[in-house]
Amino acid sequence: MQVEKFYYDNKTVKWFAYAVMVWGLVGMLAGLWIAVEIYYPPLSMGFAPTTFGRMRPVHTNAVIFAFVGNGIFMGVYYSLQRLCKARMFSDALSKIHFWGWQLIILAAALTLWAGCTTGKEYAELEWPIDIAIALVWVLFGINMFGTLIKRRESHIYVAIWFYIATWVTVAMLHIVNSLELPISILKSYSLYAGVQDALVQWWYGHNAVAFFLTTPYLGLMYYFLPKAANRPVYSYRLSIVHFWALIFLYIWAGPHHLLYTALPDWAQSLGTVFSIMLIAPSWGGMLNGLFTLRGAWDKVREEPVLKFLVVAVTCYGMSTFEGPMLSLKNVNAISHFTDWTIAHVHIGALGWNGFMTFGVLYFLIPKLWNTELYSKKLATTHFWLGTIGIILYAVPLYWAGFTQAMMWKSFTEEGQLKFQFLETVTHILPMYIARSIGGLIYLIGAIVMTYNLIKTIGQGSFIGDEAAEAAALPKVLETHSKEYWHRWIESRPLQMLFFSLIAVAIGGAIEIIPTFLVKSNIPTISSVKPYTPLELHGRDVYIREGCYLCHSQMVRPFRDEVARYGEYSKAGEFVYDHPFQWGSKRTGPDLARLGAKYPDSWHFNHMQDPQSMSPGSIMPSYPWLFENDINAFQTPKMIWAMRTLGVPYPVGYEDQCNKDAEAQANEIVARLKADKLEVKPAREIVALIAYLQRLGKDIKAAPKETKKVVADAAVLGN
Partner 1 sequence: MLPIALLLTSTASLWAQGPKAPSSLSNPFVLILSLVIVALALVIAFLAKLVISSAFIKLNKDKKSQSGGFATVLTIVGLLSSFSLMAQDKAATDTASAAKGAVSLSSSLNGVSETAFYLLGSVVFLEVLIIIILLFVLRAFLVVEKKAIVSASSDEVVPEAELNWWDNLNRFKPIHQEADIDLGHNYDGIRELDNKLPPWWLYGFYCCIVFAGIYLYRYHVAESAPLSKQEYEISVAKADAEKAAYLEKSANNVDENTVKLLTDQASLAAAKKTFETICAACHLPSGAGSVGPNLTDDYWLHGGGIKDVFKTIKYGWPDKGMKSWKDDFSPIQIAQLASYVKSLHGTNPANGKAPQGSLYKEEASADAAKADTTKAAKVDSTKK
Binding to partner 1 (CB under 8 A): which residues in 387-416?
A: 402, 405-406, 409, 411-416
Site string for partner 1, 286-315 (x = CB under 8 A): -x---x--xx-xxx--x-------------
| Least distance to partner 1, CB of residue 273, Å | 4
| Cβ-based nearer residue to partner 1, 90 or 314 | 314
| Least distance to partner 1, CB of residue 245, Å | 8
Cβ atoms of 382 and 345 closer than 8 Å: no
With CB under 8 A, what is the number of residues at the site for partner 1? 88
Q: What residues from 327 to 386 belong to the interface with partner 1 (CB under 8 A)? A: 329-331, 333-334
Q: Is 147 near partner 1 (CB under 8 A)?
A: no
Task: From 112, 5, 119, select the one nearest 49 (Cα to Cα).
Answer: 112
Query: What is the distance between the alpha carbons of residues 559 and 394, in angstroms, rounded to a whole number?
Result: 29
Q: Is 6 near partner 1 (CB under 8 A)?
A: no
Q: Which amino acid is at 441?
A: I
| Cβ-based nearer residue to partner 1, 176 or 417 | 417
Q: Is 417 helix (H, G, I), strand (E, B) or coil?
A: strand
| Least distance to partner 1, CB of residue 325, Å | 7
Cβ atoms of 80 and 88 closer than 8 Å: yes
State which of residues 155, 367, 427, 492 lies at the interface with partner 1 (CB under 8 A).
Answer: 155
State which of residues 135, 518, 596, 663 lies at the interface with partner 1 (CB under 8 A).
Answer: 596
| Least distance to partner 1, CB of residue 489, Å | 15
Q: Is 184 helix (H, G, I), strand (E, B) or coil?
A: strand
State which of residues 134, 276, 345, 391 lies at the interface with partner 1 (CB under 8 A).
Answer: 276
| Cβ-based nearer residue to partner 1, 156 or 549 | 156
Task: From 4, 64, 54, 2, select the one nearest 33 (Cα to Cα).
Answer: 54
Query: What is the distance between the alpha carbons of residues 708 and 511, in angstroms, rounded to a whole number?
Result: 28
| Cβ-based nearer residue to partner 1, 329 or 643 | 329
Q: What residues from 688 to 717 belong to the interface with partner 1 (CB under 8 A)? A: 714-715
| Least distance to partner 1, CB of residue 117, Å | 30
Q: Which amino acid is at 493?
A: P
State which of residues 178, 214, 272, 569 lies at the interface with partner 1 (CB under 8 A).
Answer: 272
Cβ atoms of 257 and 202 closer than 8 Å: yes
Cβ atoms of 299 and 306 closer than 8 Å: yes
Q: Using N-to-C axis directions, what is the helix angle for 657-674 and 600-608, rounded to 10°?
A: 90
Q: What residues from 180 to 199 belong to the interface with partner 1 (CB under 8 A)? A: none
Q: Is 434 near partner 1 (CB under 8 A)?
A: no
State which of residues 601, 634, 656, 658 lies at the interface with partner 1 (CB under 8 A).
Answer: 601
Q: Is 234 near partner 1 (CB under 8 A)?
A: yes
| Cβ-based nearer residue to partner 1, 119 or 219 | 219
Other C-beta atoms lying within 10 Å of the C-beta of residue 670: 11
State which of residues 568, 626, 640, 653 lies at the interface with partner 1 (CB under 8 A).
Answer: 568
Query: What is the distance between the alpha carbons of residues 38 and 308, in angstroms, rounded to a whole number?
Result: 30
Q: Which amino acid is at 82?
A: R
| Least distance to partner 1, CB of residue 156, Å | 9
Query: What is the distance between the alpha carbons of residues 331 and 319, in angstroms, rounded to a whole number?
Result: 15
Query: What is the distance between the alpha carbons of residues 48 and 546, in angstroms, rounded to a whole number?
Result: 11
| Least distance to partner 1, CB of residue 96, Å | 26
Beta-carbon contacts of 223 under 8 Å, excluding residues fewer than 6 positions away, are: 75, 79, 82, 83, 157, 159
Q: Is 602 near partner 1 (CB under 8 A)?
A: yes
- Write the DSSP assignment of 646-687 as a string of letters: T--PPTTGGGTHHHHHHHHHHHHHHHHHHTT----TTBHHHH
| Cβ-based nearer residue to partner 1, 95 or 409 | 409
